[in-house]
């Protein structure tokens, strides 16, 4: 299946919604972002690989005020593997209440669900060191 322009736009919108929902604490809307059996890998942060929205919600609630006050998704790339797997790679900037910030890379596998798209697997990798010549 070749990705249409409409598919690409829908995937961009989906990835952008993540920041809006998380910053608003709109955990009840995560089904609009993720498949029911989503995998969410935060092990690069020393976290866990979560399975399903309930674990993602619980982790967000545990973080409480330590959650970023702003999730900003940028530099979205969308592609399709020869086997039809649809992937997206994007950058994330998290801004914290104290003004500090962090950068991550989101690597996503997406699935078409009905007439829309959902994230089926997300790996979050922190960016801690700049490139060096």
Measured between alpha carbons, how far is 115 from 113 in angstroms, rounded to an integer?
6
pTM tops 0.85, yes or no? yes
Measured between alpha carbons, how far is 43 from 111 in angstroms, rounded to an integer?
23
Provide the residue range defining the domain that includes 27: 5-127
- For residue 96, the 8-state DSSP code is -
Predicted confidence at residue 132, as pLDDT, reads: 67
Q: Classify residue 132: in a domain, yes or no.
A: no
Give the lowest-confidence range in 12-21, 59-68, 75-84, 85-94.
59-68
Q: Classify residue 106: in a domain, yes or no.
A: yes
Predicted confidence at residue 112, as pLDDT, reads: 96
Measured between alpha carbons, how far is 62 from 81 in angstroms, rounded to an integer?
36
pLDDT of 103 higher than 90 = yes
Measured between alpha carbons, how far is 127 from 16 in angstroms, rounded to an integer?
19
Are 71 and 19 in contact by the 8 Å Cβ rule? The answer is yes
Q: Classify residue 50: in a domain, yes or no.
A: yes
Q: Classify residue 74: in a domain, yes or no.
A: yes
Q: Classify residue 62: in a domain, yes or no.
A: yes
What's the total number of domains in the chain? Answer: 1
Residue 118's pLDDT band, with cuts at 50, 70 and 90, is very high
> What are 61's two structure tokens?
């609630």
- The enclosing domain of 83 has a CATH number of 3.10.450.50
Q: Cβ contacts of residue 75 below 8 Å, gap of 6+?
A: 90, 91
Q: Classify residue 97: in a domain, yes or no.
A: yes
pLDDT of 88 higher than 90 = yes
């Amino acid at each position: 299946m070749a990705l249409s322009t409409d598919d690409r736009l829908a995937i961009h919108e989906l990835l952008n919604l993540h920041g809006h929902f998380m910053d608003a604490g709109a955990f009840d809307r995560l089904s609009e972002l993720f498949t029911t059996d989503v995998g969410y890998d935060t092990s690069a942060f020393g976290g866990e690989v979560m399975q399903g929205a309930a674990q993602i919600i619980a982790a967000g609630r545990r973080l409480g005020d330590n959650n970023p006050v702003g999730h900003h998704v940028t530099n979205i790339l969308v592609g399709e593997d020869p086997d039809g797997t649809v992937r997206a790679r994007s950058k994330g900037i998290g801004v914290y209440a104290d003004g500090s910030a962090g950068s991550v890379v989101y690597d996503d596998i997406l699935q078409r669900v009905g007439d829309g798209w959902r994230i089926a697997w997300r790996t979050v990798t922190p960016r801690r060191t700049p490139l060096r010549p």
